[in-house]
Amino acid sequence: MHSILNKNEEIMWSEKPQFTIKNLNIFYILINIFMIIVGIIIFILGGLVIYFFTIRGEMWIIIKLITFFGGGYFLCVGFYFSLGRLIYRIIKKRNTQYIVTDKRIIIIIKGLRNEIIQVANISDIKIASKNIASNGIGSIKLGNELSFMESSRIIFGIDFLVPINNEFLFLKDIKNAKEIVDFIKEFNDS
């Protein structure tokens, strides 16, 4: 971590994001439970049809394939989106580090193959807004002012057209979001 810092740069604050229940989307959870139930039903019904009706010939093979691949598809997709995404989010949160120095804000995300480092000079930050939940954990959005055209490009997902100096940084799920925003505003006011 110290190799990222410049000379005469002090770490004011460093934290990893907190994993909270609000990160889980209840809509996805319900769909995934439905897909798991459908997969189990397809497996059970296919097994019952094969067992009770003892279909022979080509039809028997087709029902076996539908049971295996159809039920397996619903089960795999359901388990992936319910457990796989949860595990991915937990691992990503554990491998993310937020650092606020006296001059810059640094976000380090360690992946399997590489390390993503996002840096913003505090003096370049024009917007610092916070959103704090009742449990005290919040998120911070940092960036510069955008024109209407630039912000609409971000909304529609054409973010590669936005100039690099208008980039936003998001610090999500941190304990003391209010203090960080106050520090940034004080730094820019002085």
The torsion angles phi and psi of 56, rounded to 5 degrees, stand at: -115, 165
Residue 171 CB-density burial (10 A; 0-12 exposed, 13-18 middle, 19+ buried): buried
Question: Which residues are CB-contacts of 132 (< 8 A; sequence separation ≥ 6)?
Answer: 138, 177, 178
What is the pTM for the complete model shown? 0.59
Q: Where are the alpha helices (DSSP H) in 58-176?
A: 58-65, 71-79, 85-94, 148-155
C-alpha 35/C-alpha 73 separation (Å) is 9
Q: Which residue has the tokens 């000379």?
A: 7
> Which pLDDT score is estimated for 180?
74
CB atoms within 10 A of CB 143: 19
**CATH of the domain spanning 11-16+97-189:** 2.30.29
Question: Which residues are CB-contacts of 186 (< 8 A; sequence separation ≥ 6)?
Answer: none
pLDDT in tens, 7-62: 888 888 888 887 665 555 677 777 777 877 877 787 777 667 666 666 566 666 77
pLDDT in tens, 79-134: 777 777 777 777 888 888 888 888 888 888 887 778 777 777 777 777 777 777 76
Helix (H, G, I), strand (E, B) or coil at 117: strand
C-alpha distances in Å from residue 153, one per residue of 124, 158, 170? 21, 5, 18
